[in-house]
Amino acid sequence: MRRRLGDGTRAVGFSGSEMAGVRDWFRTVLASTTQDAQSDARAQRAELQRQEKLIAGQQDRLLNLRIDDQIDEMAFNRKQTELRDRLASIKLRAEVPDRTRDENAEFASQVFELSQTLRQKWLTADYAEKRKIREIVWLNCRLVDATLAPTIRKPFDVHAEGLISKENGG
C-alpha cells in the first residue's frame, strides 16, 4: 500500500481482510462503550428517580401541613415553589442523558456506515462528493515539500494508521 494519499483511494479504502478486522474491532469497541454508557445512564436515572420520589413525598407532607393549618399560606407557597423548581430541574436532568445517548448512538451508527462504504463512495463520487468525504475524514492538511499531508479525524485515523504501518507493508 502506498504511503502517500495520491488519489485518496488507498488512504480511505480498505482491503477485504483489513475491513473485516476493522469491522470486528469497531463492533467490539462500540458494544463495550455502549454497555458502559448504558450502565452509567441506568445508575444516573435510578438516582434521579429516587430524588423525584423524595420531592413528591415532601410535596405531599407540605400539603398535609397546610391542610392541617400547621404552616401559613406564605410559607407554603414559598416551599411549594422551591420543591416544584427542584422537581423540574431533576426532570430536565433525566431527559438530557436520554437525548445525548440517542444522538451519540445515531452518530456512531452513521460513522460505522460511512466506514463500511467509504471506498465505494470514494470511487464513484464526483468532485463535490469527494471534497465532502475529505472534509469528513481529514481534520486539517499541511504541505510537506510537494506532498499534501492530512491530519485524519478520529476514528478514521486508526484506519489510516493501519494502512500505512510497516506491519501491513505500507
74 versus 28: which is more confidently predicted? 74
The pTM assigned to this predicted structure is 0.45
Q: How many domains does the chain have?
A: 1
Kindly state whether residue 151 falls inside one of the protein's structural domains.
yes
pLDDT, residue 51, reads: 94
Kindly state whether residue 108 falls inside one of the protein's structural domains.
yes
Is 129 within 8 Å of 121 (Cβ atoms)? yes
Domain that holds residue 76: 9-168
Kindly state whether residue 2 falls inside one of the protein's structural domains.
no
pLDDT category at 91 given cuts 50, 70, 90 is confident
Model confidence pLDDT, tens digit, residues 99-117: 666 667 667 767 777 777 7
Kindly state whether residue 115 falls inside one of the protein's structural domains.
yes
**Mean pLDDT value of segment 47-60:** 94
Mean pLDDT of all residues in the chain? 76
What is the C-alpha separation between 58 and 5, in angstroms, rounded?
65
Kindly state whether residue 4 falls inside one of the protein's structural domains.
no
The percent of residues in the chain predicted with pLDDT above 90, rounded, is 24
Kindly state whether residue 98 falls inside one of the protein's structural domains.
yes
What is the C-alpha separation between 143 and 145, in angstroms, rounded?
6
pLDDT category at 5 given cuts 50, 70, 90 is very low
pLDDT, residue 116, reads: 73
**Mean pLDDT value of segment 19-42:** 74
What is the C-alpha separation between 128 and 69, in angstroms, rounded?
73
Helix (H, G, I), strand (E, B) or coil at 126: coil
Kindly state whether residue 1 falls inside one of the protein's structural domains.
no
